[in-house]
């Protein structure tokens, strides 16, 4: 059973109405208005989500800056500790040489005293 051109044209003209009737009887114009309202709400929500994402990224940037500052402070503290450690090593080296010199002098005096005896 083939459809005539008139039948196809009739179906095309009334298809929107029949589909509208199946979706709670709303005419196509009301359905289109509702779709537009939904699209506007979705666009507003997407805009709000973008704003929230931007705020989150700004907060993350600020936090990273704080962490960078903290690392700089830790680096400065390590430099101070390194300087103190180097100074302590120099001081201990000097004390070691003085002690070694005194011991060598004492041993030399003892050896000299024993030779004269």
Look at residue 42 in the predicted model and tell me its pLDDT. Answer: 95
Query: Domains of the chain: which residue ranges?
Result: 14-116
Task: Render each residue's pLDDT in the chain as its tens digit; 117 residues.
Answer: 577 788 788 888 877 777 766 665 556 677 788 889 999 999 999 999 999 999 999 999 999 999 999 999 999 999 999 999 899 988 888 888 888 888 989 998 999 888 887
pLDDT score for 19: 72
Side-chain half-sphere of 82: how many Cα atoms within 13 Å?
6
């Amino acid at each position: 059973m083939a459809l005539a051109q008139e039948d196809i044209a009739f179906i095309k003209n009334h298809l929107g109405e029949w589909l509208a009737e199946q979706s709670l009887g709303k005419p196509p114009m009301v359905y289109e208005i509702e779709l537009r309202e939904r699209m506007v709400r979705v666009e507003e929500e997407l805009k709000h989500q973008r704003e929230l994402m931007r705020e989150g990224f700004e907060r993350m940037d600020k936090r990273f800056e704080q962490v960078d500052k903290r690392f700089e402070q830790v680096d400065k503290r390590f430099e101070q500790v390194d300087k103190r450690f180097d100074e302590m090593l120099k001081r201990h080296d000097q004390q070691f040489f003085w002690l070694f010199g005194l011991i060598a002098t004492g041993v030399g005096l003892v050896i000299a005293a024993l030779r004269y005896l």
